[in-house]
Amino acid sequence: MTQPVLICRPGKRGEVLANTLRATGAWVEPMAVMSLQALPEDPLMRRVWLDIDQYDKIIVVSPFAALCLGNALDRYWPQLPTGIAYYGVGSATAEALFDQLGVRVRIPSAAADRPGADQQKAGNERGDNTSEALLALASLKNVAHQRILLVAGEGGRTLLAETLTERGAQMTRVAVYRRIFQPPSASLQARLATGDFRALIVTSSELLEHLAKWCDQTALNQPLIVSSQRLATLAGTLGFCDLKVASGATPAALAAALGRSCNPMGADVDQGT
């Protein structure tokens, strides 16, 4: 029997990924192990939203953060202030910001032309959906004395805030949602314990660390597809052996990596991207 491809991306983005993989003929089994929950507004959030016109740049790290930002600004700003430059970590976030606020969003150059994306050249040409690629944009190099707002979830990476602070920016970080983790279902725990799957696709370090708790050595030897070299490095420390690095976190990039993972001639290509 054909083995399933396991994915763990939550919400609508997970549905899009599942449908993209199914279109290639894959049997996809979603893993409902993480959900996103908007945080209630606190005094810090309210102050940030009221002062939104004081920021030079706003950086949003995910589509769900874009949704939370859109809902907040809709309450306080019937008409958005002008003069703010918006940035997104990836084309999906740019599209979500465009849908929510109708603004153009700066992202590293990407292969796909998404609504709302104002694609700019970064240090590499792959259009990575990573903080590193965003920080390579020329417009984020010289930010001394600029006020920058970072809209993110609880926890997560600190690279953006730390790097931009080092470059002289006056940073404000606001957490607008939390990640809630659940154990895999009993049937999925059994798949992870026995390695009974074709491949596992993970695009989040928190999810990778969470799922590793249920993976025995057989599962660790199965193909793991990740969206960045940073995640591949983490996967190696967790004991995963068969690593495939996609060219980004988009459904198309992950589907392409899955296709190459089944082709022995493509293994070296995956590892080198």
Closest CA relative to residue 257, chosen from 201, 209, 212:
201
21 and 57 in a single domain? The answer is no
205 and 77 in a single domain? The answer is no
Section 117-125 average pLDDT = 42
End residue of a domain, out of 138, 159, 179: 179
Section 114-143 average pLDDT = 68
The SS3 assignment for 68 reads helix
Q: pTM here?
A: 0.82
Neighbours of 96 (CB within 10 A): 27
Closest CA relative to residue 102, chosen from 125, 73, 143:
73
The pLDDT tens digits for 211-235 are: 999 999 999 999 999 988 889 999 9
76 and 156 in a single domain? The answer is yes
59 and 24 in a single domain? The answer is no
173 and 132 in a single domain? The answer is yes
Lowest model confidence (mean pLDDT) among 122-131, 136-145, 180-189: 122-131
Closest CA relative to residue 127, chosen from 170, 89, 87, 70:
89
Evaluate if residue 33 carries a pLDDT over 50. Answer: yes
- Sign of dihedral through CA atoms 138, 144, 145, 151? positive
Give the Cα separation of 41 and 172 in Å (integer): 16
11 and 60 in a single domain? The answer is no
146 and 209 in a single domain? The answer is no
159 and 66 in a single domain? The answer is yes
Q: Which domain holds residue 60?
A: 37-179
141: enclosing H helix or E strand: none
Structure confidence at residue 45 as a pLDDT band (50, 70, 90): very high
For residue 60, with 0-12 CB atoms within 10 Å meaning exposed, 13-18 middle and 19 or more buried, which class applies? buried
169 and 70 in a single domain? The answer is yes
End residue of a domain, out of 156, 179, 202: 179
Evaluate if residue 262 carries a pLDDT over 70. Answer: no
Q: What is the CATH number of the domain that holds 208?
A: 3.40.50.10090
46 and 157 in a single domain? The answer is yes
> Cα 18 vs. chain centroid, distance in angstroms?
16
Lookup: tokens for 181: 């983790």
DSSP 180-193: EE-PPPHHHHHHHH
- Give the chain's domain count: 2
209 and 104 in a single domain? The answer is no
172 and 80 in a single domain? The answer is yes
End residue of a domain, out of 179, 194, 222: 179
